[in-house]
Amino acid sequence: MDKVIRRFDANGARTFDESPTDAESAVASTNGGFVWVDVSAPDAAGMVELGKELGLHPLAVEDATASRLQPKVQWFEQHLFVVMWEVGSASASDDPDITETFIFARTGLLVTVQRGSASQQVDLPSVLENAPTGLAGGVMSGVHAIVSSIIDGYIVAASINETELEQLEDQVFDETVRDDSKRIYRLRKRIGKVTRAVSTLAIAFANNKDRLDDLTAGDRDLKPFVQDLIDDLAGVSQLCADQESALDGVIATHENAIASAQSIDSRKISAIAAMLAIPAVISGLYGMNFKNLPGTNWEYGWVAIAVVIIAVEVWAYIRLKQRGWL
């Protein structure tokens, strides 16, 4: 289990520490700063030990060692616990990976745990150092910076999905574009990932707004930023729901277009088969060697029969064409 430890003073300035303890976080709290502990590749034993050392609730520590928990916001005694999914801003042709971030926060202490592909994880040190509100506001400034960065990833992914969806909506009505079912269902999978990452989290943040306000009570400048996070989550959640609804319409139209194309092809095949059957039936009658068939004793009888076949074929073609079968 890898661990990065940093201290931020009341002005947001960063210093390094060797091994934080609960006492050290209390000192940071007294001075208006906080200690940040970032954990990657966590193992159960290491997390339990860290939780005891820093006074984290055992249930929250247990969740941080679990895999693919639903995003949520919880309160354990004196600390806030947030589970978030990070959605990589993959291009439209890629399938973004899901990585998980667990946030523990209380006055003077911020703990983050990341699980998943290292290449897909948010660069938390950079996020904190470039926090839009600065870190002078304390631990909630750090929480805001991290949550805001992950939400920005949702917005980028939703924007990519929206562009792809608009292209598909145009394509589904364009007969010159080759059918691409994989593209449609790949987009549905990507939209589903963003929806699952955002939907419950948006509700959780909205339901916990009052308690989040309590944590930012010491920094009035931070409150609008917290409200902005809640609004962004609600907006992305609604956008994802609208995208899923629009994509359902695209899929229904796509399936109807396929059914219609298959029906047209079936009618054309049936029409061609009917036209091929005309000379086959007439030729079959004359191939049965019955006596007294019309034209069999006439030198140019075969010409007359060929003319009859052609005439019937032309009549059948015109009738089938008028009915839209050809």
Strands 34-40 and 109-115: parallel
Our CA angle for 257, 161, 199, nearest 5°, is 110
Distance CA 260, CA 116 (A): 45
Predicted confidence (pLDDT) per residue in 233-286, tens digit: 999 999 999 998 888 888 887 777 777 777 888 888 888 888 888 888 877 777
Per-residue pLDDT of 181-214, as tens digits, reads 778 888 888 898 889 889 888 998 888 888 777 7
Q: Pick the closest to residue 197 from 145, 251, 161, 169 (CA basis).
A: 161
The whole-number average pLDDT for the span 174-180 is 61
pLDDT digits (tens, 9 = 90+) for 280-322: 887 777 777 666 677 667 767 777 888 888 888 888 888 888 8
State residue 82 phi and psi, 5-degree precision. Answer: -125, 135
Q: What is the dihedral of CA 120, 126, 127, 133, to 10 degrees?
A: -170
Alpha carbons 216 and 40: distance in angstroms, whole number: 27
pLDDT of residue 92: 47
pLDDT at 20 over 80: no
What pLDDT shows up at residue 82?
92
Q: Check whether 69 has a pLDDT greater than 60.
A: yes
pLDDT class of 103 with cuts at 50, 70, 90? very high
The pair of structure tokens assigned to 221 is: 């400048």
Closest CA to 105 of 273, 234, 252, 222: 222
Percent of the chain with pLDDT over 90: 5
pLDDT at 152 over 80: yes
pTM > 0.85: yes or no: no
The residue behind tokens 């904190």 is: 128
Residues of the chain with pLDDT > 70, as a percent, come to 81
Looking at residue 43, the DSSP 8-state letter turns out to be: -
